[in-house]
Amino acid sequence: MRRQPVLSVSREEILGLGAVFLCLSEIRAIAERGQYNTTPIKACLEGLLGQYDNSVGALYGGPEILKPGVQALAQHLSQPQAMQLTQYLLGVIQLDRKLQKQPHRFQGILTGLERTREQARYFDQIDHQSVMFGIAEIYAEQVSGLTPRIMVQGHAQYLQEERNAATIRCLLLSAIRACGLWRMAGGSRFKLVLRRGAIVEAARRYA
């Protein structure tokens, strides 16, 4: 009988997936409770606009910044309680895969992000309103037309507020970026299913 290969779980995978969960958790906080948490949102933007140098932790400002995301990852994969979080997670995984197959859209995102990096340097503030709205426009132009379209659920009073809507789009694009880092570190939807227990165990260890 042929033995199945052992799929190990690396620290970089956990941090990458933890970054995805950090982004998605902040989306829920805004959409469902109207909470705008500056520190994690800035970290998500750093992950989107920063230069990756083979260290997920360094990209986001240190592994400690990602700790809430890693904890959310462990909790959700061990005892899922929020269906929205599962839907968002599957959505960003699928969108990451689709963008890899559409180089014109992917290049459009890269070009747009370079413009927003220049804005962030000019204002010396990564979460400046002009930067946030610029990123939101990139998402609307390059990602919103793809399927599955991620439908964020929450209270209309929060979702219809212009700043909140822009921030949610920024976080969705940041989550897709983090998903790409997770994939490059060895993560996959297949592995997420087959090695769920090992991923939870590793997340608890690294958290």
Instruction: Please give the model's pTM, rounded to 2 decimal places.
Output: 0.95
What is the C-alpha to C-alpha distance for residues 73 and 25, in angstroms, rounded to an integer? 10
Which CATH number fits the domain that encloses residue 100? 1.10.3890.10
pLDDT > 60? residue 4: no
Q: What is the pLDDT of residue 7?
A: 67
Domain-located, residue 5: no
Place of tokens 């309680």: 81
Q: At what angle do helices 196-206 and 11-33 cross, to 10 degrees?
A: 90
Q: Which domain holds residue 96?
A: 11-206
- Residues 136-157: tens digit of each pLDDT: 999 999 999 998 899 999 999 9
Number of domains in the chain: 1
Amino acid symbol at 43: A
Domain-located, residue 160: yes
pLDDT > 70? residue 3: no
- The alpha carbons of the chain give a radius of gyration, in whole angstroms, of 16
Domain-located, residue 24: yes
Structure tokens at 76: 């959700």
Domain-located, residue 2: no
